[in-house]
Structure 1
Amino acid sequence: MTNQEYLLKSLLGCGIPQETIDLMLLKENLPPQGEVSIGDCDLAMYKHFSLLLSASAHKVAQGDFSQSWNLDALKEFYTALCYELNKPNVLFPKPPKPTLHNRSYLW
């Protein structure tokens, strides 16, 4: 399997065009037809996920045909990728948990 095939299969359900995957490979200096390097390909998806979001942000409608993407699913995919690579989620960070403070001394 090649780097390009791995990315195409990994992102199959996301509706990402071939040109976006080629651009991601180019930015990471990964040879498209080279033997797959799963770690490097996953890191490329993590580092350039904004490319994937921009490619899937458009809704297409023409006559009876329309296509849109589930952005929540892309966020979940990115979050899972962050956990897998042990990297920070810089695009969709979780809001901080609310904390309770004891202010009974003010009464």
Structure 2
Amino acid sequence: MTTAFYANTNPAHEVSAAATGLRREEYLFWRSLQPEEDADIDIVVATLSGLTGASEGRITRIIYTFVRLEELPRLRAEQEESFHLDLDRLIAIDSALSKLGDVAQETLQDIDEELTRYL
């Protein structure tokens, strides 16, 4: 049985495999820096900006993207298995869903299923 993959996650190609490794490391790095739920987000963002050199806006988007992934467990599981999406694509998913406002849990489950099926 052959496992399907996108060109950017081709394990047999040196460049693709290296890019997947970079996406994995960046994802795991930022996931490890996610603040506690009751943390002062402004302090966390300012501190991480100073320590990483990333802009406060980008760090804020990354933090909210990881919060969003908690609402999309299938997408999160797929990402943590294949690492085929970079942070910018994950941020784009969060940004699009944020435009919907409050979304019913059932709708989020449907979105999660469809995104994961698509990927």
TM-score interval, normalised by the smaller of the two chains: under 0.3
More helix by percentage: 2
Larger fraction in strand: 1
Q: Which has the higher contact order (CA 8 A, sep 6+)?
A: 2
Structure with bigger gyration radius: 1
